[in-house]
Amino acid sequence: MAGLEYSDEALNVRAAFFGQNRMLYVEGDDDVIFWESILSAFGKDGYKVESVGGVEELKKKIIKIANRDIDSAAARDSDFNKLDLSYVAVPDVVVTYGHSIENTLITSPGLVHLARVYGRVPVGTISEVDFDDWMEGLENSFEDLIFYDAANQINGIGESVLSDNCTRFMTSQKSCSPCDAKIGAELVKHAANLNLHTHMTATKAVFAATGHRALDFMRGHFLATAAMKKVNRVLAGNGASKSVNNDSFTSSLMLGFGSVFNNLHPHYEYYSVEVANI
């Protein structure tokens, strides 16, 4: 659909073309699979989920939805909106629990499932506790950088904080362990920017009232690169000859998502409410 321009009238009958009642527009192909899984989990029928081919195109659809120009819905990444006091929710637009879909996909059960299937590791060999401890350590190490990153984007300060790849903050190229010295140097640099530091303090205060954990606001791709390194470390430790790469990691998590997304998932109740509102 990306690159094509449809009139509002055409958009309003597009769902019927697919034999559905309504369109749910999303940013990209991975988002299609994710939101189809979410809708299916709660028996939300009648939606055709379609990628618009990019965030800018999705923003255009959201404007049309907000203005009631089209009778459709949209699903988008939350990004840092839950830390932005100026953000206004749009009816018929659902958002991810955390920064991106990866923040919901990456859980200890999901990572164990991926590692077991990908590495053909016997049941009981890999422990969720190992991943729980690793994720807690990751969160503790990056917490303040996450809030600097959020404050920077929300306020358009223009610094470079966290990117889409964690490697430069780790103890080595393939390591899944954060380097305290590298992170500490970044914190000193950002604290010296008084404008950024002031906004970071305010953002952290907003966070305290959200009920979320700091890891929920880590950029999805950044979190995914760290989790991939951890899975590969676990696979190597269990004698597996295969390793996961950037291209296959999110797709592999998506394939196993249906088996771990249930009422034990920490975001389950949130998505139940979200999809009920469209």
Please, what's the b/e burial string for 252-266 (b: 16 or more CB within 10 A of its CB; e: otherwise)?
bbbebbeebbeeebe
Give the pLDDT score at 244: 83
Give the pLDDT score at 54: 94
Give the pLDDT score at 248: 82
Sign of the four-CA dihedral 243, 249, 252, 253: positive
Q: Which tens digits make up the pLDDT trace of 12-29?
A: 888 898 999 999 999 999
CB 20 within 8 A of CB 47: yes
Sign of the four-CA dihedral 136, 140, 142, 146: positive
User: Can you list the residues of the chain whose pLDDT is less than 50?
Assistant: 1-2
Give the pLDDT score at 123: 64
d(CA 147, CA 222): 14
Give the pLDDT score at 10: 84
**What secondary structure does DSSP assign to 112-160, as a single string?**
HHHHHHHHTPPTTSS-HHHHHHHHHHHHHHHHHHHHHHHHHHHTT----
Predicted model pTM: 0.92
The amino acid that residue 106 corresponds to is I
